Amino acid sequence: MEAAIRPAEPRDVPRMLELVRELALFERAPDEVTVTEEHMRDAGFGKDPVWLGWVAEADGVIQGMAVCYERYSTWKGRRLYLEDIIVTEAARGQRIGEKLFLQCARHAVEQNYSGMLWQVLDWNTGAIRFYGRFGASFDNGWLNGALEREQVQALLHQP
C-alpha cells in the first residue's frame, strides 16, 4: 500500500474523527472524545482555523493523519505543536507515520518555527520508539495540567 500525503480538506473530517476515536480506544480513553464533526470542521476550516493537518490516503481511503497547530513559548518563540499522528492499525508498519511526521517537520521549517513538540504517553513504547528514531528528546519532571469546560465555568461562578 503506497500512501500519498496531502493537506486535509473539510470532506476528510468524518474519517479523521474516526481515526481520533480509534486512537482514544487505543489510549484507553474512548469516552474522552467529545468533539463533533461540525466543531472539528469549523476549527480546521472555518472563519478562524486553529489547526492544520495532512492525511495519508491509499486506494481512496484515509489511512492516517497528522494535526498540528502553532504554539508560542516565551522561552523559544513560535513552535509547531503536533497534536496527533494517527495511522489506522491495519496500515501500520508501512512508514505512513514517518511520512506524516516529515510533512509536519517540513511545515515547521517552512514557517520558520523554532522547533516542534508533542506529548507521548509514558506507556506507549511504540510511539516513544518511533519518535526516538528521529532523535527526539523526552522531558521528565513536567506534569500536564488541564481543566474541562465545566470546571472552567465553575471557577468563574465561585464567590
Q: How many CB atoms lie within 10 A of CB 145?
A: 5
Confidence of residue 143 (pLDDT cuts 50, 70, 90): confident
Across the range 43-59, mean pLDDT stands at 97
Helices 13-26, 37-45: axis angle to 10 degrees equals 110
Spatial contact of 5 and 65, defined as CB atoms under 8 Å apart: no
Q: How many CB atoms lie within 10 A of CB 87?
A: 25
Closest to 84 measured CA to CA, from 102, 107, 100: 100
Q: What is the pLDDT of residues 88-117, one digit of tens each?
A: 999 999 999 999 999 999 999 999 999 999
Q: So what CATH class is 4-156?
A: alpha beta
Count Cβ atoms within 10 A of the Cβ of residue 130 and give its class: 0-12 exposed, 13-18 middle, 19 or more buried. Answer: middle
CA distances to 42, 59, 85 from 121, in Å: 28, 31, 13
Q: What is the pLDDT of residues 75-91, one digit of tens each?
A: 999 999 999 999 999 99
Examine the residue annotation and report whether 72 is marked as an active-site residue of this protein.
no
Q: What is the pTM of this model?
A: 0.92
User: Residues 69, 81, 113, 131: which is the catalytic one?
Assistant: 131
Q: What is the pLDDT of residues 109-142, one digit of tens each?
A: 999 999 999 999 999 999 999 999 999 999 888 8
What is the gyration radius of the CA atoms in the chain, in angstroms?
A: 17
For the chain, percent of residues with pLDDT exceeding 90: 87
Helices 96-110, 125-132: axis angle to 10 degrees equals 50
